[in-house]
Structure 1
Amino acid sequence: MTIDFNKNIDGLVPAIVQDAVTKNVLMLGYMNEEAYKKTTETHLVTFYSRSKQRLWTKGEESGNTLDLVDIKVDCDNDTLLIYVHPNGPTCHTGTDTCWSEENKPSFGFLSELESTIHQRKTEANSKESYVASLFEKGVNKIAQKVGEEAVEVVIEAKDDNDDLFLNESADLLFHYLILLQQKGFQLKDIVKVLQDRTEK
């Protein structure tokens, strides 16, 4: 990997720090060649502090270190993308990121759908909401719907109609997300179980 530390007079390159699991951007720092070498040697992300005018390992005082996973350089060889496992909050203010955002996993549209399901769960008028009516009927009804949709998926999987298979699969996933919330869980909890299994 070639990094052009000579593009800027001060010999610094921007270093974007991203959580290797959640993919959230945690902070932006700067590295010179010495900081880069120390990072790769210790596997603890180290920057060059422009205010302190010295090398600075993230978490050297707070203990909230950034464990190095990988480093990539951009197409111009003058910006780094650093994948990390954060140990505690990243920002000096105590927040997960320097943009005051919670460093939680996001599954794109599925996370939006989970949010909508949660909103429907808390709505008072269940007559206008299919999801709210399911929550009102309780876990047995929701589990029954998941079972019915699972059977439909199996049936369509043995046929040749891809549209029906995909639609039944969507119905299964939708009702499973409802069941998860009825039991007090979210998709992230299932992902955590799968991740733990891969580490064994």
Structure 2
Amino acid sequence: MKIDFNKNADGLVPAIVQDATTKNVLMLGYMNEEALAKTQETKKVTFYSRSKQRLWTKGEESGNFLNLVDIKNDCDNDTLLISVNPVGPTCHTGSDTCWNEENTSNFGFLSQLEKVIEQRRTAGSGDTSYVASLFEKGINKIAQKVGEEAVETVIEAKDNNDELFLYESADLLFHYLILLQAKGFTLKDIEAELQKRHR
């Protein structure tokens, strides 16, 4: 890995720190050659503190270390992307990130869809949406719908029509998200269970 530490007069390059699992950006620090070498040697992320004018290992006082997973440099060789497994909150304020955000998994559009389902589940009797009507009918009806969609997905899997297979797969996943919420769970709970099995 070739890093151009001479691009800036102070010999520092930005180091973007990202959670290796959630992919959330946790903080931004700066490294010189010595900080990078120490990070690679100890496997704990070490920065060069511009205010203290010395090397600084994140967590050296709090115990909230950033355990190194991987380091990549950008196309100009003057910025680092550092993947870590954080121990505790990253920010000195006690927040998970330096942007005061929770460091939790996000599943893109599926997370948005979960929020829509939650809104329609809690909207009350005025909501006439399909989702609200399913919740009104109760857990047995929701579970039945998941079963029906699962059977339809299996049938389409045995055919050669990819469009129909994807359509039924989407129906199955949508109704499964509804079932999860009816049982008081979300995709994060499924992720946690799969991670537990992976170990």
Instruction: Name the TM-score, length of structure 2 as normaliser.
Output: 0.97
1:68 is aligned to 68
1:152 is aligned to 152
Would the alpha carbon gap of residues 127 and 18 (structure 1) be closer, same or farther in structure 2, given more than 3 Å must change? closer
How far does residue 15 in structure 1 lie from its aligned partner after superposition? 0.1
Give distance in 1, aligned partners of 2:196 and 2:126. Answer: 37
Asked if 2 retains the 8 angstrom alpha-carbon contact of 1:15 and 1:79, the reply is yes
Asked if 2 retains the 8 angstrom alpha-carbon contact of 1:126 and 1:132, the reply is no
The unaligned stretches of length 5 or more in structure 2 are: none
Asked if 2 retains the 8 angstrom alpha-carbon contact of 1:152 and 1:168, the reply is yes
Identity of aligned residues (%): 78
Give distance in 1, aligned partners of 2:62 and 2:115. Answer: 34
The unaligned stretches of length 5 or more in structure 1 are: none
Give distance in 1, aligned partners of 2:177 and 2:110. Answer: 9
Q: What SS does the corresponding residue of 1:140 show, helix, strand or coil?
A: helix
Asked if 2 retains the 8 angstrom alpha-carbon contact of 1:126 and 1:133, the reply is no
* Pairs aligned (count): 199
**Residue type of the alignment partner of 1:157:** A
Give distance in 2, aligned partners of 1:109 and 1:126. Answer: 26
1:89 is aligned to 89
**Residue type of the alignment partner of 2:27:** M
Q: What SS does the corresponding residue of 2:142 show, helix, strand or coil?
A: helix
**Residue type of the alignment partner of 2:92:** H
How far does residue 38 in structure 1 lie from its aligned partner after superposition? 0.7
2:49 is aligned to 49
Q: What SS does the corresponding residue of 2:114 show, helix, strand or coil?
A: helix
Which ranges of 4 or more aligned residues in structure 1 deviate by more than 6 Å?
A: none
Deviations 1:113-159 (A, max 9, x none): 01111111101136511111111222111111000000001111112
Instruction: Name the TM-score, length of structure 1 as normaliser.
Output: 0.96
Give distance in 1, aligned partners of 2:72 and 2:88. Answer: 23
Q: What SS does the corresponding residue of 2:147 show, helix, strand or coil?
A: helix
**Residue type of the alignment partner of 2:124:** A
2:5 is aligned to 5
Q: What SS does the corresponding residue of 1:105 show, helix, strand or coil?
A: coil
Is 2:105 the counterpart of 1:105? yes
